[in-house]
Structure 1
Amino acid sequence: MTNLINTKVLPFSATAYHNGDFVPVTEANLTGKWSVVFFYPADFTFVCPTELGDLADNYAEFQKMGVEIYGVSTDTHFTHKAWHDTSDTIKKVQYPLVGDPTGRISRNFHVMIEEDGMANRGTFVINPEGEIKLFEVHDNGIGRDASELLRKVKAAQYVASHPGEVCPAKWKEGAATLKPSLDLVGKI
């Protein structure tokens, strides 16, 4: 897999189902604020609704941090609407569900499983400049945890606003950070 850290999001154009409407989404939507692009294999499946529901339950916290979430699968925006209309879990989703039936967005983010025509579980944190600051790709049998994603986004935001500081393992908001220097070498 190509290292996408600090690269700009490539151009794309898609349609999302969002709050009862079909809306256009492009790479421009991912600039000017922090964004999470959250790929999942397919609507009407098993692990996917648990993840999207978990994000929905934590969406207000992401919003307080100035973060927009975009759920993306290779389904169409019409399928996203049908899933939203029929699933109690997905009815909770208030963030855009982006259709990627051509797989262009999935390929741009290097998560497309060509032989299956769907994406791996990929999570991408994008800064306001449109640069990928964090990404994780999971096997499709392994679900993700929104609270851990919240922690990582907080760390990315902290590092961005505090040049010269880094967040150690298990860092939580308000905890001590590190200032890399020669004095720390071999002492941690």
Structure 2
Amino acid sequence: MSLINTAVKPFKAQAYKNGQFIEVTDASLKGKWSVVVFYPADFTFVCPTELEDLADHYAEFQKLGVEIYSVSTDTHFSHKAWHDTSDAIGKVKYTMLADPTGTITRNFDVMIEEEGLALRGTFVINPEGQIKLCEIHDNGIGRDASELLRKVKAAQYVASHPGEVCPAKWKEGEKTLKPSLDLVGKI
């Protein structure tokens, strides 16, 4: 069963953000757009390149009213140590969620049970707490924050313009489509 249009399941987790340990719950995701990005583990190889890319685009996401949450099955202590020792992760200003029990990772169906690690899962969640985008990658394939930013803008546009949809490669300000009988077979 797809997670699209389902509500985020309840969770409570410790996190590291801006030099502090904080608590984050499913309720923390409501009232604004959120991006939840799962990655396999701290102190690895592709993961820091992705989290740094998100950090480099974080201000753009914030301008759109979007909060970013990265999640791995590591502890919040491990997140702090990684943040303090890696130049790439040192750039991260968004929330780094700890999921050592795997509850959140399982809630989003990205747990690799035999390894206790997450797949590379990306989820865009609307202010009502519903999952609007779900993308899962093999762990050897890194993600691109600029493409995620484009998809967030498309999700926000569709949410605020009922009856319109965004075609492939749509960018902010470009023409959208209004599905109708008149369009059938004309595209």
Superposed pair shares fold, TM > 0.5: yes
State the match for 1:44 in structure 2.
43
Matches within 5 A, 1:1-40: 2-40=1-39
Distance across 2 between alignment mates of 1:34 and 1:81: 25
Per-residue deviation, 1:116: 0.4
Q: Does residue 59 of the first structure (1) align with residue 58 of the second (2)?
A: yes
Per-residue deviation, 1:123: 0.1
State the match for 2:167 in structure 1.
168
Distance across 2 between alignment mates of 1:181 and 1:89: 47
TM superposition score normalised by structure 2: 1.00
Distance across 2 between alignment mates of 1:118 and 1:105: 11
Distance across 1 between alignment mates of 2:4 and 2:89: 30
Unaligned runs of 5+ residues in structure 1 are none
Matches within 5 A, 1:17-166: 17-166=16-165
Per-residue deviation, 1:10: 0.2
Q: Which amino acid aligns with 1:42?
A: A
Aligned positions, number: 187
Per-residue deviation, 1:75: 0.1
TM superposition score normalised by structure 1: 0.99
Distance across 2 between alignment mates of 1:111 and 1:13: 17
Distance across 2 between alignment mates of 1:171 and 1:135: 18
SS of 1:3's partner is coil
Per-residue deviation, 1:47: 0.1
Deviation beyond 6 Å, 4+ runs, structure 1: none
SS of 1:97's partner is strand
Per-residue deviation, 1:171: 0.1
Distance across 2 between alignment mates of 1:72 and 1:65: 21
Q: Which amino acid aligns with 1:48?
A: C
Per-residue deviation, 1:161: 0.1
SS of 2:88's partner is helix
Per-residue deviation, 1:132: 0.1
